[in-house]
A and B are shown apart, each in its own frame.
Chain A
Amino acid sequence: MRVAPVLLASVVAFAAIEGAVFHTGVYPWILNPDGSTGYLETILRHERERPKNGPQVLGIGDSRMILLPRISNQHTAETGYTFGTIAVAGSSPRSWYYMLRDTDPTARLYRAIVLALESYDDAEKWGDEADNDADLSYVIVHLRLTDLWEYSRSFHAPKQQWKAARGILLKELVYKRDFENLLLHPVGRFNNVRLSRRDSFGWFYGYSGPPDTVSDYRIDWETKTVTAPPNADPARVDGLKTRLLLPLAPQSGNQSSYLKYWLGKIHERYRDAPTRLIFLRLPRGGFVRPDQAPYNPHSSVRELAAQPNVTLMDEHFFDSLEKPELFQDEMHLNGPGMNRFSLMITEEVRRILGPPR
């Protein structure tokens, strides 16, 4: 046997099988719907399979945008717009770009895309968002070999860059936990997938959010303490402390350059499209900390706002929702809060877009 042809044939055979199983829709079809990758795929599948009659508006963001369509679509007859969402808990603008690329491959499906941001000032986060470990798991299904350079270079830490590059080449390495879970519970997995495919659209679009509130909690900004009611959920108390009482992250410019890059890429995709990009600043919580990130006139969205197809909703448009009785925890609106939030978005989007043509 000659060495080079045999080794080359081995590598080609491996790459061909790997590609056929993991770089196509074969493995994603059986992803765990409860895992991060599988959950995102479920959301995107809902959006792909959702009937799209009339002008469409798509919401994207993190967990705080998930419940948008239920209320918005109750008003379709008045507004003329149908709403969908591909918001996923913990997702960020880098993931949104790849999610949008596959959800709207022609960049012509939607009249508007509503992007929900935490801040208009590119407020810094603790930890570099560019190195967010979860991003790769979220969008691995949608990454192509041609994304290898740009996507892996978008991480700052060399370890993360390597992990991303390796993951794009050998996708199973990213699916590994999912695959191990499949090995542990093969029958349960297939049942779960079947159930999710049959019913998850209804669960998702019908869910109205919990009634819980944080109105029994008190924040003392002077002493930096949270007073919780008896039997309070410790996770909720910790969440409030972390979000409200920890010092603000110092402004390093990392978040700004990250957002400028990825929001810029999203805008670039829709530059000549009939799609308006509408940004909104999410309601900050039932309690709003007195110290806020400094005003940044050159932030990513404020610079993007100069573009013809970009609109920024008023930064304080949702301030009226920032009440403890409308929040279930430190940052998530509860059911009634989400209803009001969705309605406000619906009306404002209708105002921005005007009547459907």
Chain B
Amino acid sequence: MLFNTPQFFLFLAVTLAVFYLAPKPARKWILLIASYFFYMSWNWRFAPLLLSLTVIDYVAAIWMERVETPRRRKLFLVLSLAANLGFLGFFKYYNFLASMLAEALRKDSHAFALSIVLPLGISFHTFQSISYVVDVYRGEQKAIRNPIDYALFIAFFPQLVAGPIVRAREFFADYYKWAPPVSEETLRGVLWILLGLTKKMTLADQFAQIADSYFKNLAAHPGAPAAWSGVGAFAMQIFFDFSGYTDMAIGMALLLGFHFPTNFRRPYLAFSITDFWHRWHISLSRWLRDYLYIPLGGNRHGALMTYRNLMITMLLGGLWHGASWNFVIWGGYHGALLGLERVFGRKHFQEPPHWLLYPFRAAITFVLVCVGWVFFRAATLHDGVYVIQQMFSWHGKGILIPAWLGCVLAVSLVIAVLEERTEWIERLAHGPAWAYVAVVVTLLFSVELIGVTEKAVPFVYFQF
């Protein structure tokens, strides 16, 4: 059940109606049942897996609090991490490791392969679980005593499949002091859902057709203009797809009385790679910082160790996206760029440049990000190298993005710049009613007029 299908909107409407009509004590049950129904509508066979991980982490956290010696606390932490990473490793990385082993033994790359279906959202809910048990281990979070509460934190349907990766203290701050959303929050919730749907169906899915036609048949589109427009189309697809999903998740959570953290802040307006990672998939960046980069030592042990930690974090961040060398290269590429920016002066890349320089810097950053996306999207390493060669070949003709979509993109850019300066979308629910109505009608028309409605295109990040 994808967010961009009528079935999902029916499910959401029923869930909201039942949730608000039910007596207060029953509401968490309703959300939990709805969340498991949502998960099982994709593949019911994986519900025991989600439940097992929930039980393991729930018990581990409680035992971590109960035992007194640090050694035993650590033991429960290790057990919990082993279970989480064990499941994640098996489902996501087994075949990758098996193919490497087979190649090392000079056997067929599929010699040890298994037919494994990746459980929906495993990368996200595993990270969310890990953050919880680590926080309990560190004493930053009290263990949740009510199993229903904890199960809902892990399975909460708006963010179960592709985040944002919510910290336990953020979730339970809303949960334990739950209050129905005020009018402005409801209107904001509806707006975020519509905005997300518009991003997904009108922009991401349109750009997806161009990116797919390019990357699935590279030989048919030689030359730099095709390569840049194919890669640019993917850059737009992945941004509008993922941020659209996140907007919808944030909107749904708002309608249910929860406040999710921002996950995207106009990343293609970033003026440096450092700035980009403060704007792109913020909840993952924050997770990697708090649970990987800082525990590795962060920037506390000199420049060399900082670069090492940065590189390890980004390599693992890349690998988190998928079991392929392409993702490792993508992570390494960003790690290298972040390292370089540190070499040339951290302050220089963290503070916005003069407004005259800003567009220039943003354009350079966008180009660098696009080069990284090549490895993220290309089917093989060979394809990735080929696309890079084409991008810098300075020959060929034929831009793949049609003029009308370019115009839509230009309008989106203007909206993003205005939003960057005024945050008008956030404030719309507090403004005059006519402005809200005008924006909602525009969004509905965008979906109707240029949205890809023939079939529901899955979200890119669902595969991670």
Taking a contact as CB atoms closer than 8 A, the residue among A10, A172, A180, A183 that contacts B440 in the complex is A10
A14 neighbours in B (Cβ, 8 Å): 440-441, 444-445
A124 neighbours in B (Cβ, 8 Å): none
A10 touches B186 (CB 8 A): no
Nearest-neighbour CB distance to chain A for B401, whole angstroms, equals: 12
Which of chain B's residues has its CB closest to A18's CB?
A: B448
B183 neighbours in A (Cβ, 8 Å): 1-3
A183 touches B433 (CB 8 A): no
A18 neighbours in B (Cβ, 8 Å): 445, 448
Which of chain A's residues has its CB closest to B183's CB?
A: A3
For the complex, give the distance between the alpha carbons of A18 and B441 in Å.
Answer: 10
B433 neighbours in A (Cβ, 8 Å): 1, 5-6, 9
Q: Is A270 an interface residue (CB 8 A)?
A: no
Which of chain A's residues has its CB closest to B190's CB?
A: A7
A17 touches B441 (CB 8 A): yes
Which residues of B, 61-94, contact A by the 8 Å Cβ criterion?
none
B449 neighbours in A (Cβ, 8 Å): 172, 176, 179
B437 touches A13 (CB 8 A): yes
For the complex, give the distance between the alpha carbons of A226 and B440 in Å.
Answer: 59
Which residues of A, 150-186, contact B by the 8 Å Cβ criterion?
162, 166, 170, 172-173, 176, 179-180, 183-184
A172 touches B187 (CB 8 A): no
For the complex, give the distance between the alpha carbons of A166 and B402 in Å.
Answer: 28
Q: Given A10-B437, A170-B448, A184-B404, do A1 and B429 touch, yes or no (CB 8 Å)? A: yes
A9 neighbours in B (Cβ, 8 Å): 433, 437
Q: Is B184 an interface residue (CB 8 A)?
A: yes
A179 neighbours in B (Cβ, 8 Å): 449-450
Which of chain A's residues has its CB closest to B402's CB?
A: A184
Q: Is B6 an interface residue (CB 8 A)?
A: yes
Which residues of B, 169-193, contact A by the 8 Å Cβ criterion?
183-184, 186-187, 190
A6 touches B402 (CB 8 A): no
Nearest-neighbour CB distance to chain B for A215, whole angstroms, equals: 41
A10 touches B6 (CB 8 A): no
Q: How large is the interface on B (under 10, 10 to 19, 20 to 34, 35 or more residues)?
A: 20 to 34
CB-defined interface of B83-125 with A at 8 Å, one 1/0 digit per residue?
A: 0000000000000000000000000000000000000000000
Which of chain B's residues has its CB closest to A177's CB?
A: B454
A2 neighbours in B (Cβ, 8 Å): 183
B448 touches A1 (CB 8 A): no
Nearest-neighbour CB distance to chain B for A334, whole angstroms, equals: 37
Q: Is B213 an interface residue (CB 8 A)?
A: no
For the complex, give the distance between the alpha carbons of A13 and B445 in Å.
Answer: 11
Which residues of A, 87-137, contact B by the 8 Å Cβ criterion?
none
B448 neighbours in A (Cβ, 8 Å): 18, 170, 172-173
Nearest-neighbour CB distance to chain B for A83, whole angstroms, equals: 39
Q: Is B52 an interface residue (CB 8 A)?
A: no
Nearest-neighbour CB distance to chain B for A333, whole angstroms, equals: 35
Taking a contact as CB atoms closer than 8 A, the residue among A6, A162, A166 that contacts B436 in the complex is A6
Q: Is B43 an interface residue (CB 8 A)?
A: no
Q: Is B41 an interface residue (CB 8 A)?
A: no
Nearest-neighbour CB distance to chain B for A24, whole angstroms, equals: 16
A6 touches B445 (CB 8 A): no
Interface centre among B6, B184, B444, B450 (most CB of A within 10 A): B444
Q: Is B453 an interface residue (CB 8 A)?
A: yes
B190 neighbours in A (Cβ, 8 Å): 7
For the complex, give the distance between the alpha carbons of A167 and B306 in Å.
Answer: 58
Which residues of B, 226-285, contact A by the 8 Å Cβ criterion?
none
For the complex, give the distance between the alpha carbons of A318 and B187 in Å.
Answer: 67
CB-defined interface of B442-461 with A at 8 Å, one 1/0 digit per residue?
A: 00110011100110000000
Interface centre among B190, B404, B448 (most CB of A within 10 A): B448
B444 neighbours in A (Cβ, 8 Å): 10, 14
Which of chain B's residues has its CB closest to A13's CB?
A: B441
For the complex, give the distance between the alpha carbons of A1 and B184 in Å.
Answer: 7
Which of chain A's residues has its CB closest to B428's CB?
A: A1
For the complex, give the distance between the alpha carbons of A5 and B453 in Å.
Answer: 28
Which of chain A's residues has its CB closest to B438's CB?
A: A13
For the complex, give the distance between the alpha carbons of A136 and B444 in Å.
Answer: 22
Nearest-neighbour CB distance to chain B for A11, whole angstroms, equals: 8
For the complex, give the distance between the alpha carbons of A18 and B453 in Å.
Answer: 17
Interface centre among A6, A13, A162, A170 (most CB of B within 10 A): A6
Nearest-neighbour CB distance to chain A for B449, whole angstroms, equals: 6
For the complex, give the distance between the alpha carbons of A9 and B448 in Å.
Answer: 18
Q: Given A1-B433, A10-B437, do A180 and B450 touch, yes or no (CB 8 Å)? A: yes
Taking a contact as CB atoms closer than 8 A, the residue among A3, A5, A172, A173 that contacts B186 in the complex is A3
Which of chain B's residues has its CB closest to A17's CB?
A: B441
Nearest-neighbour CB distance to chain A for B224, whole angstroms, equals: 23
For the complex, give the distance between the alpha carbons of A166 and B440 in Å.
Answer: 20
A5 neighbours in B (Cβ, 8 Å): 433
Nearest-neighbour CB distance to chain A for B16, whole angstroms, equals: 12
For the complex, give the distance between the alpha carbons of A5 and B450 in Å.
Answer: 27
B187 neighbours in A (Cβ, 8 Å): 1, 3, 6-7
For the complex, give the distance between the alpha carbons of A226 and B445 in Å.
Answer: 52
A10 touches B441 (CB 8 A): yes
Nearest-neighbour CB distance to chain B for A187, whole angstroms, equals: 11
For the complex, give the distance between the alpha carbons of A173 and B444 in Å.
Answer: 12
Which of chain A's residues has its CB closest to B189's CB?
A: A3
Nearest-neighbour CB distance to chain A for B119, whole angstroms, equals: 27
For the complex, give the distance between the alpha carbons of A170 and B449 in Å.
Answer: 10
For the complex, give the distance between the alpha carbons of A41 and B190 in Å.
Answer: 38
For the complex, give the distance between the alpha carbons of A14 and B404 in Å.
Answer: 23
Which of chain A's residues has its CB closest to B431's CB?
A: A1
For the complex, give the distance between the alpha carbons of A7 and B441 in Å.
Answer: 10
A162 neighbours in B (Cβ, 8 Å): 6
A3 neighbours in B (Cβ, 8 Å): 183, 186-187
A170 neighbours in B (Cβ, 8 Å): 448
A184 neighbours in B (Cβ, 8 Å): 402, 404
For the complex, give the distance between the alpha carbons of A172 and B441 in Å.
Answer: 15
For the complex, give the distance between the alpha carbons of A306 and B440 in Å.
Answer: 56
Nearest-neighbour CB distance to chain A for B199, whole angstroms, equals: 18
Which residues of A, 182-233, contact B by the 8 Å Cβ criterion?
183-184
B6 neighbours in A (Cβ, 8 Å): 162, 166
A17 neighbours in B (Cβ, 8 Å): 441, 445
Which of chain A's residues has its CB closest to B454's CB?
A: A176
For the complex, give the distance between the alpha carbons of A116 and B449 in Å.
Answer: 37
For the complex, give the distance between the alpha carbons of A162 and B6 in Å.
Answer: 10
Nearest-neighbour CB distance to chain B for A229, whole angstroms, equals: 34
17 contacts between A and B (CB under 8 A): A1-B429, A1-B430, A1-B436, A3-B186, A6-B437, A7-B190, A9-B433, A9-B437, A10-B436, A17-B441, A18-B445, A18-B448, A183-B402, A183-B404, A183-B450, A184-B402, A184-B404
Apart from A3-B183, A14-B441, A173-B453: 10 A-B pairs, beta carbons within 8 A: A1-B433, A6-B187, A6-B436, A7-B190, A10-B436, A10-B441, A14-B445, A18-B445, A18-B448, A180-B450
Interface residues of A (CB under 8 A from B): 1-3, 5-7, 9-10, 13-14, 17-18, 162, 166, 170, 172-173, 176, 179-180, 183-184
10 closest A-B pairs by beta carbon, nearest first, are A183-B404, A10-B440, A14-B444, A10-B437, A14-B441, A3-B186, A13-B441, A172-B448, A3-B183, A9-B437
